[in-house]
Structures are given as structure tokens and as C-alpha cells.
Homo-oligomer: A and B are copies of this chain.
Amino acid sequence: MAETRDRIIVATNELFRRHGYNGTSLSQISEAANATIGSIYHFFPGGKEALAVAVIETTGTIYRELFESIAREAPDPASAYVDFFAGAAAVLEESDYIDPCPIGTVAREVANTSEPLRIAAAKIFDSWINAVTQHLVEAGVCTEQAAELGQVFVATVEGMFVLSRTQRSTASLESAGRSLGQLVTQAIDDTTRTPTS
């Protein structure tokens, strides 16, 4: 059995994906993680908020690495984005449309009420945008446009999670993959036509 601290984080992650931050109680976490509330406070003296920060940071890192892995293995830059949305669609269907990403859910809930959580989420979003920007720059897109597409990609991912979860359908995720792929392809073409280097 995994370490207690890890079990707490994993259980909290899944409960946040299902019920959000305010909809998840410490007693639920305690039960799902097979750890007492005393244990939770032992590892996270800052309570629920500190635990949530840890969940955001660990999950955020995993997702950045997932994107980088998909990007590395994609046959060409544009298809990395199509593949990412296809993967997300599979996760949603297999998980009965539980939210794939606790970060967006929590961030939207508490952005006006918890600065520690807002800032933790903002840093993760920045790291994702940077990963995409770097990927596109390596594909030949100029820095400015790459950063812009990075923002649009992250927003589209988060927005698609809201939409597909609410509609209980993954149809829209395919549309998103195609649209993002098209934007990336066009960005690469544009740069090729008017090279700055």
C-alpha cells in the first residue's frame, strides 16, 4: 500500500474531480484515503487549503509531463494537439465523465476567496503555457504567436472539460483537436513564409 501522504493526495485529487473543492469534505477524504483526519492534519498542518495546494502542484506537474510526452511522440507538431484531445476524450468516457482536471475546477471555485489556491493554479497554468510555447517555437513558430497559441490551447482544454462533462459527450473534443491543429498548422506555415531568422 502506498505511503499515507500519497494516498491522501490521490484520494483528494479524485474527490475534487468529482465534487470540487467546497463539495469535498475532510471526512470523505479520510474515508477514501484510508487515513484518519488526524493523519491528514499531520501531513498538512495547513488543513484543507494546504492539502489542495499539494494536489494542484502534483497534478499540474503530471499533466505537463503528459503533454511533453505526447508532443515528443507525435509524428508532427500539429498532431500533438489532436492527440491530446483524443486522449482526453478517452479518459472522460472511461471515467463516467469525472472531470479530468481538478485544477481548473478548484481554481474557478476559489479564485476570489483563496489567494494561495489561486496562485498555485496560476503557476501551473503558466507552466503548461510555457511547455506549449516551447514546443511550438521548436516547430518554427515565432515566440509571440507561440505564446498566444499556448494560452488558447490551455483555455480550450479547460473549457472543453466543462462542456463535455456537462453534455456527457466527447463529440466536441474532436472539434477542438481539429481546430487547434488547424491553428498550429497555419502558424507554422505563416512563419515559414515570412521567416524572421
- Residues of chain A touching chain B, judged by Cβ–Cβ distance below 8 Å, are 18-23, 96-99, 104-105, 107-113, 118, 121-122, 125-126, 148-149, 151-152, 154-163, 165-168, 171-172, 175-176, 178-179, 182-183, 186
- Indicate if the CB atoms of A112 and B18 lie closer than 8 Å: yes
Main secondary structure of the interface of A (DSSP, over half): helix
User: What chain B residues lie within 8 Å of A176 (beta carbons)?
Assistant: 151-152, 155
User: What chain B residues lie within 8 Å of A172 (beta carbons)?
Assistant: 151-152, 155
- Indicate if the CB atoms of B159 and A160 lie closer than 8 Å: yes
Q: CA of A18 to CA of B113 in the docked complex: distance in angstroms?
A: 8
| With contact pairs A166-B118, A183-B183 given, residues A175 and B156 touching in the complex (Cβ less than 8 Å) | no
A-B contact pairs, 14 of them (CB 8 A): A23-B113, A99-B111, A99-B112, A104-B159, A111-B166, A122-B166, A125-B167, A149-B179, A154-B159, A155-B156, A155-B159, A155-B160, A156-B156, A182-B183
